Structure 1
Amino acid sequence: MKLPREVAAFDSASAMVMATARYLHHRDTPPMGRPAGRLLRPLATAANRLPVRLRETIYSLASGAEAQPAARMAALDIEQAAASIVRLYPRRRYPAVILGSSSGALVHLCAALGIAWLPQTLLLPLRQRQVPPDDPMRALHAFDATAQALLARNPDFVLHHLHDPNQDRLTSRRMAYFRVKRTRLGPAYERFLTNTLDPGGVVLLAECTRRWPTTRVGERHVFQFGAVGGLQPSQYREGDPRIAAYLRRYGVKRTRWEAPTPDSESPEAEWGFEPALRDDATAFARRHGYQVRRLIFDDPEDLSPLIADLYRWWYRQRGLPTNRLLVESFILADPWWALRTGCVPYWSIFPVQSSADALERYLDQSDTYDYLHLMLFCHGVESVGLASVDQWRRVLQRARVAGSFAGTEPRRYPSDLATFFRYQSALRAIPDRHPIPEPLQLREFEGFFAQRGHRYPAVRMEG
């Protein structure tokens, strides 16, 4: 089970596809979505003993190793990547298929319903050597020729060139982020739906409405400076005292970033939904007698309280304990182990302040958990907006019996290279074991939401 090398594996969409597909094959999720990834654990453990700056260099080299040369990317047929995605899933009948935006909470919804998820957005990692992370003006037009060639070969996609020197500082030293969003289903997705959806089945569109200021570069090509995480768009553009301190830490003699002037707003590069796909998917569904539902949410993390509560309700229906919360982080997630250990899954987008605040709000509104298991995605740097390890400790203290970090060594955070391998060991150490259940019916999820949807004002269902 693997994706083509032109598609980044170390990314939300590909990691979440892999986790969903492996669950449907009755398997757990290996580190970074690759079984061979487990072999890297001794190297990551050894690297953790090095000084921080050396760890940063290793992270930069390792995360940027997926980057492909411009010539290869310009010649890519993205439909081949779509064909690789659908081949990951078991060939059987599904009552529904989710299509659209990424969210770790959607992975657990797919697991609960026993269905597949097809992403709208993919990350194409482009080799980058001459663009410093703190120079978005140079990044703006650095790959125009590559972008034009890629889009000419792939007319049913829009390209969002993302540049974020805050959270992606280390990776962007060696890789440019080309995120492509499909505007049409395309042959591979259409074949998958016609071959696997039950007659009259449901195409469930996952639509994240998050938008971001962008600069138009060309037809179907925009440049996005900054990304969802520790800073708001205005802070990237206008500056913030924390940014000045962050830049000084890396020897940059400026107090803010000089960035291209935005001229529009677009769906956020990684998480936002491009509405053109809805029109094509709806027309396809009508032609084939399928139903269309829309699951609409403001931010990718907004689904997390809903899905956590769904699992808690589901466990009660099955007579299981509901006292153990598993807090996942970005691509650190495993739906198979969540169900095997009877954990209620709550997905957080990144270990940033806004995610810590959202988790606190969820805990305020929920019955107390006896156990909290906390994963923290470590992106290598103390970026602006990152929640401190002491803040996360305070969250863990809200457990009635015990709260623990799941795979992260607190004193190494946020540059703990081994956390990508240790989190699975932490899951296996949870003592409870339960059989993998029969899937919920879509109507059960819809009934649950109809009764309790008022608790999730940022989420709505239509259709």
Structure 2
Amino acid sequence: MKLPPEVAGFDSASAMVVALARFLYGQATPPLGKPAMRALRPVAAAASRLPARVQEPLYSVFSGAEGRTESELRELDMDAVSAGIASAYPRRHYPAVMIGSSGGALVHLCAAFGVPWLPQTLLLPVRQRGISPDEPRQAAQALAGTAQAFLEHNPDLVLHHMHDPNQDRLTLRRMAYFRVKRQRLGPAYEKFLTDHLEPGGVIVVAECGKRWPVTRLGDRHLFQFGAVGGIPPEEYRDGSDRVTEYLRRYRTGKTRWDAPAADSDAPEAEWGFESALLHDITAFADRHGFRVRRLPFDEPESLSAPVAELYRAWYRQRGLPGNRLYVDSFMLLDPWWTLRAGAVPYWSVFPVQPSLAQLHRYLDTTEPYEHIQLALFCHGAESAGLTTADEWRRLLSRATVEGTFAGVSPNRYPRDFRTFFGFQDALRAVRPRQPMPEPLPVTALDDFLGRHHTLAG
């Protein structure tokens, strides 16, 4: 199983497609989405011991290596790319298919019901040199011609050029982020649905309502400065003490960023849902006799607590304790080993202050967990709004028996690159291992969607 080479493997949507597809094949998630990457584990361990001044260039080279040339992007056919995404899943019939926004909790929801998910948004990494992460005005214009050519070739897409010098500083040194959202299903997704969704089956539309200020550079071409993470949109544009401190730490000579003025807002580039797709899905379903159910949620993490509670109740129905919480982090998730360990999954978008606060709120409202295991995505930079290791230790102290870091050293965080290879180790070590259950019935999915609408409405 291989994803199209044009999409970034080091990204939420592609990593989550791999994790779910592998699960549906009865397999665990490989590191960085590829089994061959296991060979790099010793390299990552060695790199984690290097000083930051050496680590950062290495991270930039590795994470930016996926960038495609501008000429490749100009000629790219996204219908062919979407066909490659759909082909990742096993060729069988499903009672339901999820389509829409990305999210780790959504992946665990799909795993519980044994159904695939087709992402609306994909990241196309574009090779970029000579543009400072701290010059958003220059970045906004640098690839405008390439973006226009790409959009002329792909009329069903909206292109969000996302530039986040806070969390993506190291990657932006080597590549630009072109996130593209489908406004129509397109032939590849339509064929997948007609070939693999059972007659009368359910299309569940995952709709994250997160929005962000943008600058409109052209028809279907948006520039988004900043992204979901440790600081809100206004701090990117107006500055703050922690932004100033972050810029001082990297010796930029700046106290704030100077970005193009925002003239509107739009669905957030990575997580937000472009509503035009819903209308196309509804029309397609009417033509083919499928049902459509909507799954709206406000923030990328809004489904994390409901899905955790679904798993906890499911375990107890099976006679399992449901007393072990495993906290995923961004692309570090493995639905196969989560179920084998009998762990309740809670997905956090990033190891940042808002995610920590939301996790505390969940623990405030549920029965205490005996064991809490915590993965931490390491992006290699001391970004503004990042949580400290001590803050995560205090979170782990809420376990009534034991709270532990999973595959990451708190002393090397956020530069412990072993985390990409060892985040499942804590799950593999759990004994006894549980048998893989049969998927929950689609009637339970209807119940979950009904409860979610009641709580969200």
Q: TM-score, normalised by structure 1?
A: 0.97
Counterpart in the other structure of 1:278: 278
Counterpart in the other structure of 2:187: 187
SS in 2 for 1:123: strand
Counterpart in the other structure of 1:41: 41
TM-superposed deviation, 1:6: 1.0
Question: Is 2:379 the counterpart of 1:379?
Answer: yes
Counterpart in the other structure of 2:429: 429
Question: Is 2:333 the counterpart of 1:326?
Answer: no
Alpha-carbon deviations, 1:400-435, whole Å to 9, x = none? Answer: 100000001111000111110111222211223111
Question: Is 2:305 the counterpart of 1:299?
Answer: no
| CA distance in 2 between partners of 1:445 and 1:95 (Å) | 10
Question: Is 2:59 the counterpart of 1:59?
Answer: yes
Aligned structure 1 segments of 4 or more residues deviating by more than 3 angstroms: 448-454
Alpha-carbon deviations, 1:271-307, whole Å to 9, x = none? Answer: 0000000000000000000000000000110000000
TM-superposed deviation, 1:442: 2.4
Letter paired with 1:223: F
**CA contact under 8 A between 2:137 and 2:260: conserved in structure 1?**
yes
Letter paired with 1:435: P
Change in 2 beyond 3 A, CA 1:194/1:90: same
Change in 2 beyond 3 A, CA 1:162/1:452: closer
| CA distance in 2 between partners of 1:448 and 1:93 (Å) | 22
Percent sequence identity over matched residues?
61
TM-superposed deviation, 1:32: 1.1
Unaligned runs of 5+ in 2: none
**CA contact under 8 A between 2:295 and 2:449: conserved in structure 1?**
no
TM-superposed deviation, 1:132: 0.4
| CA distance in 1 between partners of 2:122 and 2:451 (Å) | 34
Q: Where does 1:39-438 land on structure 2 (aligned, <5 Å)?
A: 39-438=39-438
| CA distance in 1 between partners of 2:4 and 2:304 (Å) | 30
Alpha-carbon deviations, 1:209-229, whole Å to 9, x = none? Answer: 100000000111000000000
**CA contact under 8 A between 2:340 and 2:436: conserved in structure 1?**
yes
TM-superposed deviation, 1:2: 1.2
| CA distance in 1 between partners of 2:131 and 2:303 (Å) | 36
**CA contact under 8 A between 2:96 and 2:197: conserved in structure 1?**
yes
SS in 2 for 1:37: helix
Change in 2 beyond 3 A, CA 1:448/1:138: closer
Letter paired with 1:266: A
Q: TM-score, normalised by structure 2?
A: 0.99
| CA distance in 2 between partners of 1:3 and 1:447 (Å) | 33
Alpha-carbon deviations, 1:234-271, whole Å to 9, x = none? Answer: 11111001111111111111110001000010000000
| CA distance in 2 between partners of 1:108 and 1:153 (Å) | 35
TM-superposed deviation, 1:451: 5.1
Change in 2 beyond 3 A, CA 1:87/1:449: closer
Greater shift, 417-426 or 354-363, is seen at: 417-426
**CA contact under 8 A between 2:4 and 2:85: conserved in structure 1?**
no
**CA contact under 8 A between 2:230 and 2:385: conserved in structure 1?**
yes
SS in 2 for 1:302: coil
| CA distance in 1 between partners of 2:92 and 2:224 (Å) | 39
| CA distance in 2 between partners of 1:432 and 1:283 (Å) | 48
Q: Please, what is the CA RMSD of the aligned residues?
A: 1.0
Alpha-carbon deviations, 1:114-145, whole Å to 9, x = none? Answer: 00000000000000112100000101110011
TM-superposed deviation, 1:150: 0.6
**CA contact under 8 A between 2:159 and 2:179: conserved in structure 1?**
yes
